Amino acid sequence: MAQAAIELIGINKSFGAVRANRDINLEIARGTIHGIVGENGAGKSTLMSILYGFYQADSGEIRVGGQPASIKTPNDAIALGIGMVHQHFMLVDNFSVLENIILGAESDALLKKSIAKARSELERLEREYGLEVDPDAIIEELPVGLQQRVEILKALYRGAEILILDEPTGVLTPAEADHLFRILRQLKDQGKTVVLITHKLREIMAITDTVSVMRQGTMVATRETAKTTVEELAELMVGRRVLLRVEKGEAEAGGVKLAVKNLTVKDTRGVTMVDDISFDIRAGEIVGIAGVAGNGQSELLEAISGIRRAVSGSVMLDGKPIDLTGAADPGELRDRGLAHVPEDRHHVGLVLAFEENENSILGYHDDPRYLKGPFLNIDAIRNDAKDKIAKYDIRPADCRLKTANFSGGNQQKIVLAREMEQDPGVLIVGQPTRGVDVGAIEFIHKRLIAMRDQGKAVLVVSVELDEIRSLSDRILVMFAGRIVGERGPEATEGELGLLMAGVEQQEAAL
């Protein structure tokens, strides 16, 4: 039996009336990859935040390497060889990679020695773990996968022997996730201990040695990964059997609800991200868009929803034109029956400082249902929010709670409830289940299928190929800003992957 790197004994933590952790006991063996899974709000991140010193437990004991440890701040954790890569990266966007790595670990006032030491150490870490990244690159100019590497390098530079990763693949493409797993295996081979917090059960099965399951703040089971199944873990997480496949009948497609023709969109740098795209969506069908992140999907959704101005092209909603190159705005499109669930719920979908009930009407605050004369009807808004909380199983069931205090999956449900409950004719959804647990994924998928079956037109963009294949009646593949192919849901992952890489397009050009 490997020696324990970490032991958590009788850990309890409450936030007011909410008990986030209840009598948690957990042992993590040295030199292993240990997964922790659970529904959104199960207490996983709270437990790891206690281990890393962001929170202090109300009671209980932590042991590191067999010795009692007092961890009151992240500096205490770092001194004990514990590093953490957070779900939302803790990097300074306009600093270089090197500057971020030495931040807080400087050895001289003028930074000359610190930077020279960091550059040399960075080269060693890159060679040892395959964590290649340009040390002089500016963080905001790096793709998300490379930003995550910087976070891992930052932890290793500080001497981490135990590395905690919180939902590390939530913002990664499948290829980036595969590369991350290769890095984690190398870390394990070098004797490091990795703690992986995730809701993606197939990733748990692929990468971990041991997995612990949390539910409603308690630790309900620990299993050797090789001796369990996805189905058992899902049932332990949710407390009931979970349908892991989307069940749906044949689509009964009607007339065209949204028609896009020759749409071209540029980003803030003037680079063409959507290049002369044409497609349509019919009532009663789900059209999925697959593609590696950064190939124009985000800009396409922003243009169709009125957030970003198009350069050229035309869009028809229910047979009537929308001027996306000029005066159209999201409010006008909402009034015409187009609802939008944005990819980035934190920056576009929600105001985190607002209460849940305030976010539940954002964009619809001038609806007569929420007004009393010229003023907002607060009682009506809160009652409406309570109905949505019950219908969408949003936890905790408190419409007065600040939205920042909900887990990522429950924040996603708040946005989905707001948009779906407006009964739109067209729903466009970016990354519907990003950062969402298995039980909530099942719920969200059922809601999307139900909307399709009610005759709505649904457009879904997702980097999760399984999700696109399961939900879609038609699949469009984007590469370099263009639609390079259309396939049915029976298309294989390999076939879609080739299209996503532009392979067929390149071969056709030869």
Segment 469-479 shows an average pLDDT of: 94
| Measured distance CA(262)–CA(275) in Å, rounded | 8
- Residue 508: what pLDDT? 37
pLDDT, one tens digit per residue, over 228-282 is 998 899 889 887 776 556 778 888 999 999 999 999 999 888 999 999 999 999 9
pLDDT, one tens digit per residue, over 384-425 is 999 999 999 898 899 999 999 887 788 999 999 999 999 999
User: How many angstroms separate the Cα of 122 from the Cα of each of 115, 141, 151, 197?
Assistant: 10, 19, 12, 26
**Cβ(43)–Cβ(36) below 8 Å:** no
- Residue 149: what pLDDT? 86
With a CB cutoff of 8 Å and minimum separation 6, the contacts of 295 are 478, 479, 480, 481, 500
Residue 15 exposed, middle or buried by CB count within 10 Å (0-12, 13-18, 19+): exposed
Q: Where are the domains of the chain?
A: 4-238, 246-337+424-510, 352-421
pLDDT bracket for residue 77 (50, 70, 90):
very high
State the angle between helix axes of 230-238 and 438-453 in degrees (0 to 180), rounded to the nearest 10.
90
Indicate the helix (H) or strand (E) that contains 48: helix 44-52
Segment 367-372 shows an average pLDDT of: 94
Number of other CB atoms surrounding residue 249 within 10 Å: 8
Q: Is the pTM of this model over 0.85?
A: no
Segment 44-55 shows an average pLDDT of: 92
| Measured distance CA(281)–CA(255) in Å, rounded | 9
246-337+424-510 matches 4-238 in CATH topology: yes
Segment 21-39 shows an average pLDDT of: 95
Q: Which CATH architecture has domain 4-238?
A: 3-Layer(aba) Sandwich (3.40)
- Amino acid, res. 398: D
Q: Does the CA dihedral 437-361-258-255 come out positive or negative? A: positive
Q: Does the CA dihedral 201-204-209-211 come out positive or negative? A: negative
**Any idea what DSSP says for residue 355?**
B
User: How many angstroms separate the Cα of 262 from the Cα of each of 95, 117, 300, 314?
Assistant: 39, 53, 12, 7
Whether residue 177 is predicted with pLDDT greater than 90 in this model: the reply is no
- Residue 107: what pLDDT? 61
Whether residue 328 is predicted with pLDDT greater than 50 in this model: the reply is yes
Work out the mean pLDDT of the chain and round it to a whole number: 89
Q: Which of 189-203, 209-223, 380-394 has the lowest mean pLDDT?
A: 189-203
- Residue 505: what pLDDT? 47
Whether residue 504 is predicted with pLDDT greater than 70 in this model: the reply is no
Whether residue 507 is predicted with pLDDT greater than 50 in this model: the reply is no
| Measured distance CA(392)–CA(416) in Å, rounded | 9
- Residue 509: what pLDDT? 40
**Among the residues of 53-111, which ranges form H helices?**
74-79, 97-102
Question: Which of 60-64's residues contact partners 24+ apart within 8 Å by CB, and which partners?
Answer: 60/8, 60/9, 60/10, 60/11, 60/12, 60/23, 60/24, 61/7, 61/8, 61/9, 61/10, 62/6, 62/7, 62/8, 62/9, 62/11, 63/4, 63/6, 63/7, 63/9, 64/5, 64/6, 64/162
User: How many angstroms separate the Cα of 182 from the Cα of each of 122, 179, 189, 236?
Assistant: 18, 5, 11, 28
**Cβ(489)–Cβ(472) below 8 Å:** yes
If you count them, how many residues does the chain have?
510
Strand segments, DSSP code E, in 54-184 are 59-64, 67-69, 82-85, 162-166
Q: Would you identify the CATH topology of the domain 246-337+424-510?
A: Rossmann fold (3.40.50)
- Residue 476: what pLDDT? 97
